[in-house]
A and B are shown apart, each in its own frame.
Chain A
Amino acid sequence: MQVMTAPFRSLAFSDGDPDALELVSVEAELVSRSLRGEGRAFSALVSPHLPLLYRIAHRACRSSALAEDAVQETLTIAFRKLARYEPGTSLKAFLGAIAARQALTLLRSEHRRQLREEKSSAPVDAVTPVEELTARRLAERIRTALSDMPKKRQEVALLRLDAQMSYLEIAEATGTTEGSARVLVHLAVKELRQKLGDLLVDE
């Protein structure tokens, strides 16, 4: 099978750490079994990363149901691309990259929806507690700030600030070099600070 014969480029492998080696072999086994159609193996493979995927998805949309659907879509794409994944490299980066791209699509549609709602001047839900309303508005500000940025910056911002990936992982996820990832993150952070500066001061 392709996955089993693929050369491992894992840092853990090169370190020679026995625990890391065992993790790599377990991951390779799970990938192999998933590709043979074993649902449980795929679920076990991705389960540790579900909170992260959910967080990225929820960043882009306001509803939990939509976020769940987005995670499922992400997992479906991940499964289709799983044969290309090399066990031992960062599965977090592999899944995070797909989730970030899904989130960008969601962000765009969510932004359009928000604009429509603003135009229709829908009444604010009066039963929502003040704290919840504030949090929702805050999240909305971040969402809007993200969606106004160029696509690549949105992606790295999500990967850095929501998925808390390292520059190396971001580079792997976005298919760039570590240096480029640093530059992109820097630009994204700078732009976000300009747009959300008042919120940071309040903090």
Chain B
Amino acid sequence: MKIQDDSNEQCGLGGLFDQTAEAPSGPELTRLAARAEDIPTRVDNGFARKWWLPLSVSAVAAAAALGFWLVEFRREGRGVDVAVAARAVPPHLTADRVDSVQGAPALTGSSALPSALAEEGFEEEEPASDVSLEASDAEPGVLAMSEFFEDTDGLRAFNAEDLFGPALDSDVDVWMLATNDLPGEKR
């Protein structure tokens, strides 16, 4: 292709382009220079935002998903025990207490552990039947987590020696009152 000298044509167009060109004003130039000054910092931050923040968020999300899955897994495994425990609540407990027991995770006999043991080849003990649990005079072996700590806190509030009985007859009433709230001492 033969390129002819088009410098004259370019001059005409160049003039047209110059005529319609916009030059930045002083304040605009100052603003642009200031913006340029910010760019190295901003671009670095942009890099961090672009890579590290999404990575961190992903890691947290993955951990949360794993935690949720573990909780769900444990809850599914424990479902039978909770049902058994709920039926094992003695009738003298009030309705609201039953609710709290059903709603709270059981402390005893976590099914996840026996299941895991069974998977590894260990014999798992037969769960106590409803009849045997009902026949027992003892309080049910299942306590809500909140109740457990509540009772433990109550235990800490008293002198351990008090558990062996009052030293004086005059202290019997106080002793009865103090031990009334302890687990297994409900009357």
Residues of A within 8 A of B (CB): 34, 37-40, 42-43, 46-47, 50-51, 53-55, 58-59, 64, 67-68, 71-72, 75-76, 79-80, 135, 138-139, 142, 160-162, 164, 182-183, 185-186, 189-190, 192-193, 196, 199-200, 203
Residues of B within 8 A of A192 (CB): 13
**Inter-chain pairs besides A43-B34, A50-B29, 12 sampled, C-beta below 8 Å:** A42-B36, A43-B37, A47-B33, A50-B32, A59-B21, A64-B28, A75-B39, A161-B10, A162-B17, A189-B9, A190-B6, A200-B13
Residues of B within 8 A of A40 (CB): 37
Task: Give chain B interface residues in 1-28, CB to chain A under 8 Å.
Answer: 1, 3-4, 6, 9-10, 12-17, 19-24, 28
Q: Are B3 and A182 in contact (CB under 8 A)?
A: yes
A37-B40 contact, Cβ under 8 Å, with A50-B33, A186-B6: yes
The CA of A54 and the CA of B22, in the complex, are separated in Å by: 8
Q: Are A47 and B23 in contact (CB under 8 A)?
A: no
A146's nearest neighbour on chain B, judged by CB, is B17
Chain A binding surface, main DSSP class: helix
Residues of B within 8 A of A58 (CB): 21-22
The CA of A203 and the CA of B11, in the complex, are separated in Å by: 12
Does chain A have a CB within 8 A of B169?
Answer: no
A51-B23 contact, Cβ under 8 Å, with A39-B39, A79-B40, A183-B3: yes
Q: Are A43 and B6 in contact (CB under 8 A)?
A: no
Chain B binding surface, main DSSP class: helix
Provide a sorted-by-A list of 12 A–B residue pairs whose CB atoms are within 8 angstroms: A39-B40, A42-B39, A42-B40, A55-B21, A58-B21, A67-B22, A138-B20, A160-B10, A161-B14, A190-B6, A200-B12, A200-B13
Does chain A have a CB within 8 A of B43?
Answer: yes
A71-B32 contact, Cβ under 8 Å, with A54-B24, A58-B21: yes
Cβ distance A192 to chain B, nearest Cβ, rounded Å:
6
Q: Are B13 and A55 in contact (CB under 8 A)?
A: no
Residues of B within 8 A of A (CB): 1, 3-4, 6, 9-10, 12-17, 19-24, 28-29, 31-44
Q: Are B15 and A203 in contact (CB under 8 A)?
A: yes
Cβ distance B1 to chain A, nearest Cβ, rounded Å:
6
The CA of A49 and the CA of B14, in the complex, are separated in Å by: 19
Residues of A within 8 A of B32 (CB): 50, 53-54, 68, 71-72
Q: Are B3 and A142 in contact (CB under 8 A)?
A: no
Residues of A within 8 A of B29 (CB): 50-51, 54
The CA of A53 and the CA of B23, in the complex, are separated in Å by: 10
B21's nearest neighbour on chain A, judged by CB, is A55
A203-B10 contact, Cβ under 8 Å, with A54-B28, A79-B40: no
A55-B22 contact, Cβ under 8 Å, with A75-B36, A196-B16, A203-B15: yes
The CA of A186 and the CA of B2, in the complex, are separated in Å by: 10
The CA of A196 and the CA of B40, in the complex, are separated in Å by: 41
Residues of A within 8 A of B43 (CB): 76, 79-80
8 Å CB contact of B13 from A72, A80, A193: A193
Residues of B within 8 A of A46 (CB): 36
The CA of A37 and the CA of B42, in the complex, are separated in Å by: 9
The CA of A192 and the CA of B16, in the complex, are separated in Å by: 11
A179's nearest neighbour on chain B, judged by CB, is B3
Cβ distance B160 to chain A, nearest Cβ, rounded Å:
65
8 Å CB contact of B35 from A51, A75, A182, A193: A75
